[in-house]
Amino acid sequence: MTLVDIFTLVVLCTSVEVIGSRLSVSGNHFMLNGEHVFLSGGNLPWIQYAYDFGNNQWAGVKTSMENEMKLLRDAGGNTLRLWIHIQGESSPQFDLNGYVTATDRDGTFIDDFKDMLDLAQSYDILVIPTLWNAAVPQDFENRLNGLIVNPEKLASYIQVVLNPLVQAVKAHPALAAWDVFNEPEGMLDTEVSDLDQCFDTTALNDSGAGWAGKKYNYQQILRFVNWQVDAIKQEDPEALVTVGVWNAKSSTDNFHLANHYSDDCLIKAGNKSLGVLDFYEFHSYSWKCEFDHLAPFKHQWKDYGISKPILIGEFNQMEGGGWTTNQLFDYVYKDGYAGALSWDLVNNGTDQRAGIAFIKNYTGNGKIDIDI
């Protein structure tokens, strides 16, 4: 074998090992392929609520989801946030005592999830899967409720579902980040007095939190988050993880409030050192056509005193303080946030995609046109 042959073989072998760049964090923004990027897109968030993945359900929704991805890409967007288990309606599989026994009844869940990511990659779309939801009052005792209040049940979910899922998709370039929990404050007990500000919720009383039932304290919610984030990072150290909070009020130490999702609070609640967030995700809706005083649309990202990126993960024109969708996207981009994902592409797609298209050529706070 000549030196040329050896060199050619080395190059060929090396090229087999090369994998695509993955989304990462640098300071207050995201990086992809060595470039500062801005996440612009929307929430899908489902085709069939809680019945998109597992149990041979994906085949029935794939065409509709592909159409949404194509429309998003055509509008100039680059990111989708979509919901997975929600509150355990069809995945994972629970036994009668609330322990997780399988990913789903028919065993298609992980393959469905992987195929969804493959589809997203074909359209250069990044995906943020949101595992659980607390925005509606339907978490029956032996489903999501059990995972939140019982550490042993949570451990069964992590072992049976989360670890294999993360292991199966951890190298996928279309996987932007994991969103563990949508709006935990929907079921937050806002009348808990505690000497530790991580767990004291009295400052959030009359804030709007607890609209879906005041069932859980922050020790339970933060443990639920901490354990899953830690499990994800044990399997995939490069993974990015967040939580989609209903309002900035729960995630800042400024304005006489407490950042309940700080590294310190999460570790204190769950005792797992890897279980901390890589970036923050705020949702923002107006009430009676007015944004509250902490809304991102009244502040720059730096006003919250957070050293990590802030993604505005839900907003829309209907509850946008009288702003147009174009104005909302424009503001998020220009005021230093790391991304803007509107709600929602299925029911308000024409309006949402107009806002996405409005900023698609912006520069100065990150590239939007990406290749993955």
The catalytic site residues sit at: 183, 314
Residue 26 makes CB contacts below 8 A (sequence gap 6+) with 36
* Three-state DSSP class for residue 163: helix
* CA–CA separation, 19 and 13 (whole Å): 13
CB atoms within 10 A of CB 342: 30
What is the SS3 assignment for 202-222?
HHHCCCCCCCCCCCECHHHHH
Tokens encoding 226: 């901490």
CA distances from 6 to 15, 16, 17, 18 (A): 14, 16, 17, 19
Residue 347 makes CB contacts below 8 A (sequence gap 6+) with none
* CA–CA separation, 182 and 242 (whole Å): 10
Tokens 């199966």 belong to: 168
Q: Is the peptide bond before 112 cis (omega within 30 degrees of 0)?
A: no
Contact by Cβ (8 Å): 340, 329: yes
